[in-house]
Amino acid sequence: MTTTEQTDGIVGRGNRDGAALFRDWFAELNEVAENGGRAAYVFVMGSLNEVLKTFDLPVVFPEINSLQTAVRRVAHEYLDVAEDAGYSPDICGYVKADFATQIQDGRHPMGRIPKPALTVYTNACNTYIKWAEIWERLHKIPLFTLDVPGTRQGGLITLGGDVDFENDKRYVKAQLLELIELCKKVTGKPFDIDRLREVMGFANTMSRGWKRVLELNAKTPSVFNALTDGTIYLGVANGMRGTPEGAKYFDDLVEEMEYKAANGIGTLTDEKYRLVFVGVPCYPIFRRFNELFTEWGGTFVNSTYLWFASGGTNRGFEYDLADPLDSLAEGLLISVRDAMDSMFHQDRVLNEVIDDFGIDGVVYHPIKSCRTTSTGMADSRRYLMSQRDIPTLFIESDMMDRRVVSEAQLKNRSDAFFEGLAARKAQAGASAPS
């Protein structure tokens, strides 16, 4: 194989394969729906795929379904349906797009979405609970809440051996045993602990790979764009968690990123400014939003979205397969807690990322229809700026609702941000010793 052939095969593979896996996944869901089958409805911040896949339950991520309507530029049609039914313009756009999907018999641009057999969610997002209650009313299904204790004090991370941690772990494990009983009842299948080990083994490969992929972006030039490419990888990290396809994907992705890092192959952007993104992407103008930054040579090399929206699996926690239930409880506790911290206390990690990733600027993106990720962001920004001499940008739009996305206003702010970054670089260059 020549070098060119090798490059052609490896570079960009993560994006191609990710898109293909997504198409296959939605095709399978469509088939389930057409055959009258049902699925487990789950969320990105603690999907519990490990347990659900053990019972061979197809999984639906309503958050992913909803954001896909925005990326495919039809979200407004869904939002209108939900608002006509009485939902307020001010609430979560994901909830509304999903509600519209539910009352339109699962109609979705990527195929038909099956109805739920049960729903499983964590307390990482307060909206999850009220959202699931809608399905309970519509479909008369059981709800399962996994209550994961969060960080008791900002910056105080407890781990194994700590009395609070051990108590929290027992609490999570007891809930997992309840979930297993519920899955047995819903599916009519017995629980197979060896099957759980197998699923957790695939999840281990994915978590390990995800952590490594994110670490590799500390290289200059960055090997992927955390806002665009990263969102594709994130989709696989969630949707295929605990599957052989997901594990292979992340093995391949690590190989691709290692290859790019070793050969100095960066993103398509001529990287002048390395940025970190805080918040949820602007899906209604997903590509264009990114261009506001790449036009100036700005690349997102990291993103808090890739942390919290992967349920904290970016930490790379690997389960001990010798004691699967105990380890699953520990892993969920550590990862979901970290996802919550990535939303509410991200300033501490950002402080480290600024150094480790050579960050030139931090872009905060609060959005109208997600209070969970946006509340407190202005304070976090102010705190970070009090700690570090780092330029920041604060731009507001939405993850779903194009009515509150103003490209001209976004551009005016991003242009001013880059003019400041350029002046700062020029000044630093002028004062650098020759």
Partner 1 sequence: MSITAGIDVGSTYTKAIVLEGDSVIGMAMKATGFKLTEVSEAMFDAAIADAGISREEVQYTIATGYGRHQCKVKDLAVTDLTAAARGAHFFFPATRTVLDIGGQTMKATKIDESARVKSFRLNDKCAAGTGAFLEKTARYMGFTTEEIGGLMDTSKEHVTISGVCAVFAESEVINHLSQGTSPADIMQGSADSLSARSVQLLKRVKAEPEYTLIGGLLRWPRMVDTIAGQLDAEVNAPAGEMVQYTGAVGAALLGRIRLNKLAEKDAVEQTA
Minimum distance, C-beta of residue 415 to partner 1, in the bound complex (Å)? 5
Region of residue 379 (phi > 0: left; psi between -120 and 50: alpha; otherwise: beta): alpha
Number of residues that bind partner 1 (CB under 8 A): 12
Q: Rule CB under 8 A: say whether 19 interacts with partner 1.
A: no
Region near partner 1 per CB under 8 A, out of 4-12, 183-191, 247-255, 411-419: 411-419
Residue nearer to partner 1 on the CB measure, 375 or 409: 409
Q: Which amino acid is at 22?
A: F
Binds partner 1 (CB under 8 A): choice among 126, 375, 387, 409: 409
DSSP 403: G
Q: Which among 290, 266, 276, 295 is positioned nearest to 419, based on CA atoms?
A: 295
* 207: number of Cβ within 10 Å: 26
Q: Which among 14, 5, 4 is positioned nearest to 258, based on CA atoms?
A: 14
Q: Rule CB under 8 A: say whether 396 interacts with partner 1.
A: yes
Which stretches of 229-366 are assigned E, i.e. beta strand?
273-279, 298-303, 361-365
The residue assigned the tokens 């702010």 is: 413
Minimum distance, C-beta of residue 329 to partner 1, in the bound complex (Å)? 45
Binds partner 1 (CB under 8 A): choice among 6, 375, 387, 427: 427
Q: Rule CB under 8 A: say whether 133 interacts with partner 1.
A: no
Residue nearer to partner 1 on the CB measure, 270 or 415: 415
Q: Which amino acid is at 4?
A: T
Binding mask 30-69 for partner 1 (x = CB under 8 A): ----------------------------------------
Q: Which among 430, 399, 404 is positioned nearest to 71, based on CA atoms?
A: 399
Residue nearer to partner 1 on the CB measure, 26 or 418: 418
Minimum distance, C-beta of residue 427 to partner 1, in the bound complex (Å)? 7
Q: What is the spatial distance between Cα 7 and Cα 89, in angstroms, rounded to a whole number?
A: 47
Q: What is the spatial distance between Cα 397 and Cα 239, in angstroms, rounded to a whole number?
A: 26
Q: Which among 238, 242, 232, 228 is positioned nearest to 196, based on CA atoms?
A: 242
Q: Rule CB under 8 A: say whether 423 interacts with partner 1.
A: yes
Binds partner 1 (CB under 8 A): choice among 164, 270, 419, 425: 419
Q: Which amino acid is at 334?
A: I
Report CA torsion sign: 68, 74, 76, 79.
negative
Q: Which among 279, 252, 260, 253 is positioned nearest to 222, based on CA atoms?
A: 260
Binds partner 1 (CB under 8 A): choice among 27, 159, 420, 425: 420
Binds partner 1 (CB under 8 A): choice among 348, 371, 388, 413: 413
CA-to-CA separations, 201 to 44, 74, 317, in angstroms, rounded: 19, 38, 12
Minimum distance, C-beta of residue 43 to partner 1, in the bound complex (Å)? 30
Minimum distance, C-beta of residue 353 to partner 1, in the bound complex (Å)? 21
Binds partner 1 (CB under 8 A): choice among 77, 192, 270, 415: 415
Binds partner 1 (CB under 8 A): choice among 412, 425, 431, 432: 412
The answer to whether 159 touches 334, Cβ cutoff 8 Å, is yes
Residue nearer to partner 1 on the CB measure, 1 or 428: 428
Binding mask 227-246 for partner 1 (x = CB under 8 A): --------------------
Q: What is the spatial distance between Cα 358 and Cα 276, in angstroms, rounded to a whole number?
A: 10
Residue nearer to partner 1 on the CB measure, 387 or 427: 427
Minimum distance, C-beta of residue 408 to partner 1, in the bound complex (Å)? 6
Residue nearer to partner 1 on the CB measure, 194 or 419: 419
Minimum distance, C-beta of residue 416 to partner 1, in the bound complex (Å)? 4
User: Strand 392-394's sheet: what is its strand order?
Assistant: 298-303, 273-279, 361-365, 392-394
Q: Rule CB under 8 A: say whether 379 interacts with partner 1.
A: no
Q: Rule CB under 8 A: say whether 416 interacts with partner 1.
A: yes
| Interface residues toward partner 1, by CB under 8 A | 396, 406, 408-409, 412-413, 415-416, 419-420, 423, 427
